[in-house]
Amino acid sequence: MRVEAGATMHGTVIGDLTIDVEEPEADKIVLRWKGASNTRDPGSTLKTFFDVVFAEAARRKAVVEQHFEELTFFNSSTVSALLRMVTEAGRLGLPMTLHYDGSLRWQSHNFEGIAALSSSLPFLKVESIGEWPAIERVSLQKH
């Protein structure tokens, strides 16, 4: 898969997962993850997709902005693939921002772990959109 200079990039579908591509500016590529990433081994398909995204981002000197807010689930295989992708972007010196829904506990848990890598990957930003709701205190009273 190769994108010719000036051509529009296309997203990908892997099982129940859709990644849409938007190119709002020449120096920004936006990826929107939607649905559920629940396939057994999404890594090889994601690698092929991200090889194209990263080559285009490098050519255009573009930031890669990823949005996970509409993602309903991802399994541990997807987390592993995402960690490899983030590491590869860092190796290539590509600036990347990951946006997640902080009001979803499972997203917060996974992306806070990825954020811990940002100290060793200076081109990576991990940003929460929304916050985990405060724990409600429940008092039990006898009637």
Q: How far from chain centre, in Å, is Cα 80?
A: 12
Radius of gyration of the CA atoms of the chain, in A: 17
Q: State pLDDT tens for residues 28-61.
A: 999 999 999 999 999 999 999 999 999 999 999 9
CB contact at 8 A, 48 and 60: no
Stated pTM of the model: 0.85
105's tokens: 């506990």
Q: What is d(CA 54, CA 37) in angstroms, rounded to the nearest whole number? A: 21
Q: In percent, how much of the chain has pLDDT > 90?
A: 77
pLDDT tens for 118-142 read 778 889 999 999 775 544 333 344 4
H/E element holding 25?
Answer: strand 17-25
